[in-house]
């Protein structure tokens, strides 16, 4: 579905991606992990054509996405930070995106799922962070596209909404979709992900199943495995047990 | 692209600045017509104001709208829409709403005063046409500058500087050159130099129409000879069109290569 070859990207002097090659060939949930600034969001934005690669190619269903736009019809994207035009109401925003994108979206079940009915007439500028994130989720998931890219979907959500999101993602997975998720919540990964991609300093450091990751690093939990990776990497963490704590700090996000 | 134009336009019609802008022209034209006495006097006074104010407002609106609609833009970029359409849609939304404000604000009082049954109709049309051109030109320049500068303060400063250059500094340099080299024939230089400034070009276009080019002396006569003809007129309008096309092309170029 998506093939990334030798992707390089830098912003000014800062090299964010240093030759990432990835293939997404089978449906399921892939968690993209990595400390802050490891290039997760840049990778996602490159797939969407929002950030333009310095080097390398990205193919979507075999076609180079360079200069393309129609392929985005097949991708539903949840941005990391829910930023909307402040003047619009939720209802107007939903209608606008539907009008711009066309097709046959179905927002109703999602609105009910996240209990957004009372907020439909409110201006987006007046919504709380969690409610914004719910609107963000409805916008991203109201289309039934084969690829779903979620950048930190759980941020700001209360436990009930998080549970419902997980349930929803399971259903989407059942439909045979490709789902890419970045997150810092390890329990979310252990519960949901079929596969993990670990980005470290602009490289793919590890890719494989959860079990494989744990075995490779001889760890009993995902958190420990990640800690080992960070200890191995030349991040300056000493290997006297502080690594795990540092990894937790890094993964929870500053 | 038209859908984005529609939403940008819709978004802008909610901003009260657009109404204030339109109302200002309404008030100004009405008072010039009914208190100042006479159509041609009103047109000349209005010309001096339009030539400075339209570029300034278009510049500010263009920059402000770009920076204020960042969220909207980011939302659109993830949708299956061509990049250039997103930015052209937004630009045209700004330019069209400014143009309509100007058209209604200046047009209504003149229509009520009876411009259609007057011989000044052509002079007035050229004034409006020039105003529309300047709206499109300067909002495009502003959009281009904003697109190139992530930093709002810098973008704003640069855009205002460009306006200042065309509205004030350019004329100063132009006059300086004319007086320094007054011993040489400067007619060709004068014509050439005015083409490089859309505000000057607009001013000359209107002045020639108003038949007061005699006030500009010998250079004025030469310019009249060139631009007073149909060919000259077509040339000047063509150059104004080029002034719209150039920054618009710049917008496309930057938009296609920019990271978000």
On whether residue A102 sits in a domain, the answer given is no
On whether residue A123 sits in a domain, the answer given is no
Residues from chain A contacting residue B259 (CB–CB below 8 Å): 11, 45, 50-52
pLDDT at A194 over 50: yes
pLDDT at A248: 60
Name the residue with tokens 């450091």: A205
A108–chain B nearest CA distance, Å: 20
**Antiparallel, parallel or unpaired: β A178-182 and A28-33:** parallel
Residues from chain A contacting residue B81 (CB–CB below 8 Å): 69, 72, 100
Separation CA A219–CA A239 (nearest Å):
14
Task: Look at A45 and B260 and tell me if their CB atoms are within 8 Å.
Answer: yes
Q: Which residue has the higher pLDDT, A15 or A232?
A: A15
Residues from chain B contacting residue A69 (CB–CB below 8 Å): 80-83
pLDDT > 90 fraction of chain A, expressed in percent and rounded: 36
On whether residue A151 sits in a domain, the answer given is yes
Q: Which residue has the higher pLDDT, B75 or A164?
A: A164
pLDDT at A237: 44
On whether residue A26 sits in a domain, the answer given is yes
Residue B224: give the domain boundaries: 2-257
pLDDT at A179 over 90: yes
pLDDT at A80: 86
Q: Closest Cα partner for A4 from A43, A37, A33, A34? A: A43
pLDDT at A246 over 70: no
pLDDT at A239: 43
pLDDT at A254: 42
CATH number of the domain enclosing A183: 3.40.50.300
Q: Which residue has the higher pLDDT, A236 or A63?
A: A63
A143–chain B nearest CA distance, Å: 11
pLDDT at B216: 61
On whether residue A172 sits in a domain, the answer given is yes
Burial of A56 (0-12, 13-18, 19+ CB in 10 A): middle
CB A18 within 8 A of CB A201: yes
From the candidates A50, A53, A92, A148, which should be mutated to test the interface with B, based on the most B CB atoms within 10 A?
A50
In chain A, how many domains are there? 1
Separation CA A33–CA A36 (nearest Å):
9
From the candidates A15, A96, A124, A140, which should be mutated to test the interface with B, based on the most B CB atoms within 10 A?
A96
In chain B, how many domains are there? 1
pLDDT at A35 over 60: yes
Please state, as a whole number, how many other Cβ atoms lie within 10 Å of the Cβ of residue A27: 18
Ordered mean pLDDT values, 10 residues apiece, chain B (260 residues): 86 86 93 86 90 95 91 87 92 94 94 85 90 96 94 95 93 85 79 86 82 61 71 86 95 90
pLDDT at A234: 54
Residues from chain B contacting residue A73 (CB–CB below 8 Å): 80
């Amino acid at each position: 579905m998506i093939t990334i070859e030798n992707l390089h990207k830098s912003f000014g002097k800062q090299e964010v991606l240093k030759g990432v090659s990835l293939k997404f060939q089978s449906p399921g949930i892939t968690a993209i992990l990595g400390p802050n600034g490891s290039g997760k969001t840049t990778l996602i934005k490159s797939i969407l054509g929002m950030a333009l690669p310095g080097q390398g190619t990205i193919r979507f269903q075999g076609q180079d996405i360079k200069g393309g736009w129609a392929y985005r019809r097949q991708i539903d994207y949840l941005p990391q930070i829910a930023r909307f035009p402040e003047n619009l109401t939720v209802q107007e925003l939903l209608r606008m995106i539907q009008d711009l994108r066309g097709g046959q979206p179905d927002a109703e079940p999602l609105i009910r799922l996240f209990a957004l009915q009372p907020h439909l007439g409110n201006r987006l500028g007046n919504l709380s962070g969690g409610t914004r994130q719910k609107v963000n989720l409805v916008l991203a998931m109201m289309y039934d596209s084969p690829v779903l890219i979620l950048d930190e979907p759980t941020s700001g959500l209360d436990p009930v909404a998080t549970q419902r999101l997980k349930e929803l993602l399971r259903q989407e997975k059942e439909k045979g979709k490709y789902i890419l998720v970045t997150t810092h919540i390890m329990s979310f990964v252990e519960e949901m992900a079929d596969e993990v991609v670990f980005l470290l300093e602009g490289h793919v450091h590890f890719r494989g199943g959860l079990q494989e990751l744990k075995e490779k690093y001889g760890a009993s939990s995902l958190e420990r495995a990640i800690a080992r990776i960070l200890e191995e990497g030349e991040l300056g963490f000493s290997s006297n047990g502080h690594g795990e704590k540092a990894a937790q700090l890094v993964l929870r996000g500053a | 692209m038209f859908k984005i134009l529609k939403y940008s336009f819709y978004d802008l019609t909610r901003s009260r600045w657009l109404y204030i802008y339109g109302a200002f022209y309404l008030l100004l034209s009405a008072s010039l017509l009914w208190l100042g006495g006479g159509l041609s006097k009103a047109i000349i006074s209005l010309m001096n104001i339009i030539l400075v104010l339209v570029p300034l407002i278009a510049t500010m609106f263009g920059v402000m709208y770009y920076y204020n609609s960042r969220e909207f833009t980011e939302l659109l970029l993830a949708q299956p829409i061509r990049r250039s359409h997103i930015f052209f849609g937004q630009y045209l939304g700004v330019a069209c709403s400014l143009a309509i404000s100007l058209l209604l604000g200046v047009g209504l009082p003149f229509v009520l005063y009876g411009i259609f049954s007057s011989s000044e109709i052509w002079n007035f049309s050229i004034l409006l046409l020039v105003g529309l051109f300047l709206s499109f030109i300067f909002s495009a320049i502003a959009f281009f500058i904003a697109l190139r500068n992530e930093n709002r303060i810098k973008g704003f400063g640069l855009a205002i500087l460009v306006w200042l250059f065309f509205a004030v500094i350019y004329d100063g340099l132009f006059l300086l050159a004319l007086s320094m080299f007054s011993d040489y024939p400067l007619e060709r230089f004068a014509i050439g130099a005015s083409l490089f400034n859309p505000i000057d070009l607009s001013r000359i276009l209107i002045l020639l129409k108003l038949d007061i080019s005699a006030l500009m002396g010998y250079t004025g006569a030469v310019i009249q000879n060139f631009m007073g003809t149909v060919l000259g007129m077509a040339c000047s309008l063509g150059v104004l069109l080029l002034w719209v096309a150039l920054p618009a092309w710049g917008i496309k170029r930057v938009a296609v290569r920019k990271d978000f």
